[in-house]
């Protein structure tokens, strides 16, 4: 009986919406975008897709933010997409303004919604949204990096991807940390399983560089992140209680920050598995928190 | 144990490949495109998506047609996409050359493959491919129009899409026929169920116009057709024996044509349900066959 | 939005209900049985199962036939199960009385329902139910035999089961016909694919004998038939338009009979693919119809 | 690529095997039982079911424990089922002997397998198996009680089951603890959400009594536990990293015990969420550990 509102139907937004609706896990969807006719024509495409898949999800397509009501989950992908020559901070200013606008309008009509931010830079955008809305907000965080981590190891070691486990966290993007003590292949620690075949550096380089490489050729990432985001929505909608490396809010000094940690995702968000991380992994996480705090203070000092 | 080769990884190709792999129905995929790095970087995205979905499909990404081998199904989407100001025949000449090229190269290394053409104009492209390859070939035909037909009726009558049944056929696109005597809502014939709410003309207009409307806003159709094409692939791969309005080859006069009829799709293609159509629907189908024959003769007279 | 009423929650009934609900394809279920507390305690078990599967289907458990209302599909499995030493006709008399009773009570409160009979002997029970209810009725017919046919061929030839196609039909049980011209392995006709490895007689013996062998060891068949029946329900509920060898009503002489033929199963039942059968297969079918007519006349001559 | 060996194909074993295979999540299954012909005839039924579901899982049916080889997961359900008039301890002695026998034979040929014990009393049987095999072993623990807990609350409060969260733990069966501070309905704590509608005592009574009530009418529980067990297997096979209240081994005094706690289940088992439990819930858990230790010592003092 889950109703999900999708704010933004651009390249990544469309892919998330399509993928989520095709999963069959949600009953009602609201598709909002400011571009006239875009939600309506995209709805046509979705209706044709759902007809083929025999799925009965109801869709409301709208250009009016006032029609975004009574959602269980509000996922915000609206914003300026990251370009090949941009770092995440370049897009901060443009998108923070968009978040603040939505933070003022969306909560009133969606009193019970969980807010999920996937607009980049995802963690800072979630913190901005939460600050200006006073509503519980998460970001998709490093969940897509988890999948990049696991799929690369699987590919290089020649094993099925579902025997590779492990979590990345900290900052989504360039400042990412890999929690190496969580990484196993068939329960064997990475260093032992990968010995002579694959190094930590090769994995780190792939996980940090692959987005830029994809953007250079395809013009943007979409299929990978969108599927991670679909699976976050489905985990909430079906109360899967699955561990994902999303960014849930934490208090740090005088701010509420979003920093990715392995976290239980279900109808409730949390607890995180921070207490189960190794000392070394926890050190990485704590360093990321401090670094992100400083960056966030710097980025937001002129926000009003 | 199904291995599917996807020839072309453009907008529609990517969407088909993503959707098909996410279904979990195939074991091995080959992604071919002539653009350097495109299949490889798209494979990265797919790997990240499959990791999230816990699906172990193996992917070979290649720019070399010689690596496209031993597929059970070869789906060809390569070609020039239809633009807003084009009709289907405008793209015939460009794409026919591409089909002929593939017809000469692909069959040798894929001796047991079923060939599925989704490059537009789909029906003529399938006929061209079959003529130059001497291999059994189908096109996705009017299957996406079936879904447009059903979803529009469901939306307008306020019923779940899976209680709407019915088939379109003949020519994919402007010359489409709706087989009205097959159209029912909860087993009630269309005219009775829709009385006072929706006319045949409104439905026909929607089914014929919606693609152009979507193209005008989104730059192309992708989600709707891609899902129909995914479901054709899955029906073959899992031997679903499902009725779909695809275009399987028929002999007509001196040509092998591809004209859409409700057809059983499984590990085998056919039989069609032509013999069960009403007299009126059969008349529409036969008229379409004749019209398509003449068009095809006209279009192909300069092909060599 | 499909509501399914299950009449009977014995061994086979429970397995069908469990399997169908776990598919997630239906929204509401009614579980009826005459045994006090049985539907209620079975509902407890189902609720625990659905909680694990994260499926929200609502269940009404009842001993009162008056509470069986407004179903889209009514599946009747109530009756005396076949014992190891019984043939199908032995159970005819007991179960016909049960069918007649339900035929008088169920239609009034379920005015739009499709009736599916799986009580043995299934085909005759469907004809009896239809005669006394004047409602459109099908039986599961030879669909389970199709699956026995295909799985045995796959096992013996060492191929995946989904590359084996083919249909059995006529009479469910001892008088079964295999429509050999429909049987293919990877599109290769049976006789060619099986040459030197497997004979028609071996297949026929397996398909006809396996139920008795299973009954002798397990006390009854359940998992195989229940899954076939689940898939019939799902095909109707999701309008799959899938070919299955169910028994839909045909007029023959002065009776309405149920004889299995490959038939399109969706929101609508039919058409059958009888017109596409080979001459030889059609001969088998027609012989079965005549034989079943005579048996049915004999069996029913004392029914009132 | 997961291969699962199922040891025992009785009532509960069959239901687990059927349900797991129908999920499509495993590639190879071994079905072992000591009863002659039972695995073989049950395999026939499974093959028919998988054919209908279009699933290609390979099955080895055997009466020889030596053929149980190279499994990724070994699930043991063999043993004497609990009768209506038995408590869990009554069946300890019979089943402990069976566990010891398997502990001596199964590990050698299954060097990488995760062992899952579902034979009752599940927790003690897992401890016995682990002691005599020196292999990592879990039991299904209180996972089925989680589902009983959630489904009863959902039913009584009239909400979908997937908005109810919460964990039971400690001892499977009579000594069960409900970790009330984990129980929420749409993120609202139980006491607040249930106020005036449902009490903790009603829930506790249901969760502790329902098995006996089901056994009294149906002769045994099967559908509920089997689905929980299927989902444990699937969580491992697909590396879902899902929180389940299974019993993983803990060291306590001089023994390795199995006591249920919310635990991450994936390709790896753990960590548990013990550190995130409230003080009150942790107190319940610790009391259960101590009680189970004493019981286990008492029960095993004569084992050799």
Give B115-145 pLDDT, tens digit per residue. Answer: 999 999 999 999 999 999 999 999 999 999 9
Helix (H) or strand (E) holding A207: helix A200-218
Compute the CA torsion angle B183, B189, B195, B200 (nearest 10 deg).
30
Residue A179, pLDDT above cutoff 70: yes
Q: How confident is the model at residue C174 (pLDDT cuts 50, 70, 90)?
A: confident
Please list the alpha-helical segments (H only) found in chain B: 11-22, 38-53, 92-109, 122-133, 143-157, 190-193, 200-218, 223-237, 279-300
- Whether the CB-CB separation of A146 and A244 falls below 8 Å is answered with yes
What ranges do the domains of chain D cover? Answer: 3-139, 143-300
Q: Where are the beta strands (DSSP E) in chain D?
A: 3-7, 28-32, 58-62, 73-76, 114-117, 137-139, 164-170, 176-185, 188-189, 242-244, 247-252, 255-260, 263-265, 269-272
Dmax of chain A from CA atoms?
58
- Whether the CB-CB separation of D165 and D153 falls below 8 Å is answered with no
Q: Closest Cα to residue A100, out of A275, A304, A296?
A: A304
Residue A303 pLDDT: 79
Arithmetic mean of pLDDT, B158-163: 95
pLDDT more than 90, % of chain A: 92
Answer left, alpha or beta for residue C149, where phi above 0 means left and psi between -120 and 50 means alpha: alpha
Which residues from chain D sit within 8 angstroms of residue C141, using beta carbons? none
Is D172 known to be catalytic?
yes
- Note the residue count of chain D: 304
Residue D11, pLDDT above cutoff 70: yes
Sequence-distant (6+) residues with CB within 8 A of B51 are A146, A147, A148, A150, A151, A154, A161, A164
pLDDT tens per residue, range B253-288: 999 999 999 999 999 999 999 999 999 999 999 999
Nearest to B54 among D54, D56, D238 (CB): D238
Q: How confident is the model at residue D86 (pLDDT cuts 50, 70, 90)?
A: confident
**Beta carbons of C213 and D44 less than 8 Å apart:** yes
Which residues from chain B sit within 8 angstroms of residue A214, using beta carbons? 41, 44-45
Which residues from chain D sit within 8 angstroms of residue B54, using beta carbons? 238-240
Helix, strand, coil distribution of chain D in percent, nearest 5: 50, 20, 30
Residue A304, pLDDT above cutoff 70: no
Supply D161's token pair: 């089951």
Angle at C237 between CA C276 and CA C31, to 5 degrees: 125
Residue B260 pLDDT: 98
Question: What Rg do the C-alpha atoms of chain D give, in angstroms?
Answer: 19
Residue D243 pLDDT: 97
Arithmetic mean of pLDDT, C190-211: 97
Residue found by looking up tokens 């260093």 in the block: A191
Rounded to whole angstroms, how far apart are CA atoms C31 and C291? 35
Q: Does D151 reach chain C within 8 Å, measured CB to CB?
A: yes
pLDDT tens per residue, range C14-59: 999 999 999 999 999 999 999 999 999 999 999 999 999 999 999 9
- Whether the CB-CB separation of B72 and B112 falls below 8 Å is answered with yes
Residue C218, pLDDT above cutoff 70: yes
Rounded to whole angstroms, how far apart are CA atoms D160 and D190? 15
DSSP code per residue over B39-92: HHHHHHHHHHHHHHHT---EEEEES-GGG--S-SEEEE--SPPPPTT--GGGGH
Q: How confident is the model at residue A173 (pLDDT cuts 50, 70, 90)?
A: confident
Residue B90, pLDDT above cutoff 80: no
Rounded to whole angstroms, how far apart are CA atoms C45 and D211? 9
Question: Are C3-139 and C143-300 in the same CATH fold?
Answer: no
Residue D54 pLDDT: 95
Residue B55, pLDDT above cutoff 90: yes
Q: How confident is the model at residue D82 (pLDDT cuts 50, 70, 90)?
A: low
Residue D202 pLDDT: 98
Nearest to A271 among D112, D267, D273 (CB): D273
pLDDT more than 90, % of chain C: 91
What letter would DSSP give residue B196?
A: T
Residue D304, pLDDT above cutoff 70: no
Report the Cα–Cα distance between both ends of chain C, in Å, rounded.
37
Residue D80 pLDDT: 81
CATH number of C143-300: 3.90.110.10
Q: Closest Cα to residue D72, out of D258, D264, D233, D271?
A: D233
Q: Which residues 49-108 in chain B show a CB within 8 A of chain C?
A: none
CA–CA distances in Å: residue D23 to residues B5, B267, D240: 27, 22, 14
Mean pLDDT of chain C: 95
Rounded to whole angstroms, how far apart are CA atoms A154 and A146? 12
ipTM computed for the complex: 0.96
User: Which residue(s) pair with B247 in the sheet?
Assistant: B139, B260
Q: How much is the pTM?
A: 0.95
Q: Closest Cα to residue B247, out of B235, B232, B234, B237?
A: B232
Residue B304 pLDDT: 66
Q: Closest Cα to residue B293, out of B123, B178, B101, B76?
A: B123
Helix (H) or strand (E) holding D41: helix D38-53
* Sign (positive or negative) of CA dihedral C183, C187, C192, C196: negative
What letter would DSSP give residue D80?
A: P
Rounded to whole angstroms, how far apart are CA atoms D227 and D232? 9
Supply C260's token pair: 């299995």
Residue B236 pLDDT: 97
Report the Cα–Cα distance between both ends of chain B, in Å, rounded.
38
Rounded to whole angstroms, how far apart are CA atoms B266 and C167? 13
Arithmetic mean of pLDDT, A236-242: 96
Neighbours of D, requiring at least 3 CB pairs below 8 Å, are A, B, C
User: Which residue(s) pair with A177 in the sheet?
Assistant: A169
Q: Does D162 reach chain A within 8 Å, measured CB to CB?
A: yes
pLDDT more than 70, % of chain A: 98
Query: Counting beta carbons within 10 angstroms of the beta carbon of residue B109, is it exposed (0 to 12), middle (13 to 18) or buried (19 or more)?
Result: middle
- Whether the CB-CB separation of D118 and D140 falls below 8 Å is answered with yes
Residue C81, pLDDT above cutoff 80: no
pLDDT tens per residue, range B175-217: 899 999 999 999 999 999 999 999 999 999 999 999 999 999 9
Rounded to whole angstroms, how far apart are CA atoms B6 and B33? 9
Residue A54 pLDDT: 95
Q: Which residues 17-56 in chain B show a CB within 8 A of chain A?
A: 18-19, 22, 35, 37-38, 40-42, 44-56
pLDDT tens per residue, range D186-235: 999 999 999 999 999 999 999 999 999 999 999 999 999 999 999 999 99
Q: Closest Cα to residue B244, out of B261, B222, B226, B223?
A: B261
Q: Does D239 reach chain B within 8 Å, measured CB to CB?
A: yes
CA distance C238 to chain A (A): 6
Q: Does D186 reach chain B within 8 Å, measured CB to CB?
A: no
Rounded to whole angstroms, how far apart are CA atoms D203 and A7? 40
Distance of CA B280 to the CA centre of its chain: 25
What letter would DSSP give residue A173?
A: S
CA distance D137 to chain A (A): 14
CA–CA distances in Å: residue D200 to residues C163, C223, D143, D161, D190: 54, 38, 19, 17, 9
Arithmetic mean of pLDDT, C256-279: 96
Q: Does A227 reach chain B within 8 Å, measured CB to CB?
A: yes
Rounded to whole angstroms, how far apart are CA atoms C283 and B293? 37
Supply C86's token pair: 């019984």
Distance of CA C160 to the CA centre of its chain: 24
pLDDT tens per residue, range A36-88: 999 999 999 999 999 999 999 999 999 999 999 999 999 999 998 767 677 76
Give the CATH H-level superfamily of domain C3-139: NAD(P)-binding Rossmann-like Domain (3.40.50.720)
Sequence-distant (6+) residues with CB within 8 A of B285 are B169, B170, B177, B179, B259, B261, B274, B277
- Whether the CB-CB separation of D219 and D210 falls below 8 Å is answered with no
pLDDT more than 70, % of chain B: 98
Dmax of chain C from CA atoms?
58
**Beta carbons of C47 and D152 less than 8 Å apart:** yes
Q: Is the peptide bond before B271 cis (omega within 30 degrees of 0)?
A: yes
Q: Does B186 reach chain C within 8 Å, measured CB to CB?
A: yes
CA distance C302 to chain B (A): 35
CA–CA distances in Å: residue D124 to residues D114, D120, D302: 17, 8, 14
Which residues from chain B sit within 8 angstroms of residue D239, using beta carbons? 54
Supply A162's token pair: 């579902």
Tally of CA atoms within 13 A in the half-sphere of A217 that contains its CB? 19
Residue B301 pLDDT: 87
Distance of CA C34 to the CA centre of its chain: 22
Output the 3-class SS for chain C: CCEEEEECCCHHHHHHHHHHHHCCCCCEEEEECCCCCHHHHHHHHHHHHHHHHCCCCEEEEECCHHHCCCCCEEEECCCCCCCCCCCHHHHHHHHHHHHHHHHHHHHHHCCCCEEEECCCCHHHHHHHHHHHHCCCEEECCCHHHHHHHHHHHHHHHCCCHHHEEEEEEECCCCCEEEEEEEEEECCEEHHHHCCCCCCHHHHHHHHHHHHHHHHHHHCCCCHHHHHHHHHHHHHHHCCCCEEECCEEEEEECCEEEEEECCEEECCCEEEECHHHCCHHHHHHHHHHHHHHHHHHHHHHCCCC
Residue found by looking up tokens 């007029």 in the block: C251
Query: Counting beta carbons within 10 angstroms of the beta carbon of residue C184, is it exposed (0 to 12), middle (13 to 18) or buried (19 or more)?
Result: buried
């Amino acid at each position: 009986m889950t109703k999900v509102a999708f704010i933004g139907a651009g390249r990544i937004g469309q892919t998330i919406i399509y993928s989520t609706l095709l999963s069959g896990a949600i009953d009602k969807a609201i598709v909002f975008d400011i571009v006239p006719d875009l939600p309506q024509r995209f709805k046509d495409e979705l209706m044709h897709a759902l007809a083929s898949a025999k799925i009965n999800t109801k869709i409301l397509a709208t250009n009016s933010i006032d029609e975004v009501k009574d959602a269980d989950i509000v996922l915000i992908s609206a914003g300026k997409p990251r370009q090949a020559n941009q770092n995440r901070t370049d897009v901060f200013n443009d998108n923070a303004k968009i978040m603040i606008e939505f933070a003022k309008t969306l909560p009133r009509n969606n009193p019970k919604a969980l807010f999920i931010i996937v607009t980049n830079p995802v963690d800072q955008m979630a913190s901005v949204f939460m600050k200006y809305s006073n509503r519980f907000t998460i970001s998709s965080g490093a969940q897509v990096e988890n999948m990049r981590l696991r799929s690369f190891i699987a590919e290089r070691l020649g094993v099925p991807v579902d025997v590779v486990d492990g979590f990345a966290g900290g900052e989504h993007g360039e400042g990412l940390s890999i929690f190496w003590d969580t990484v196993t292949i068939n329960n064997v620690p990475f260093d032992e399983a990968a010995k002579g075949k694959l190094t930590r550096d090769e994995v780190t380089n792939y996980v940090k560089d692959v987005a830029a490489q994809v953007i250079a050729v395809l013009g943007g990432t979409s299929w990978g992140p969108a599927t991670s985001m679909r699976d976050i929505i489905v985990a909430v909608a079906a109360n899967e209680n699955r561990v994902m490396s999303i960014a849930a809010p934490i208090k740090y000094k005088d701010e509420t920050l979003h920093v990715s940690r392995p976290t239980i995702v279900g109808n409730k968000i949390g607890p995180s598995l921070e207490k189960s991380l190794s000392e070394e992994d926890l050190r990485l996480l704590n360093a990321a928190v401090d670094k992100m705090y400083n960056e966030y203070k710097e980025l937001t000092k002129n926000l009003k």
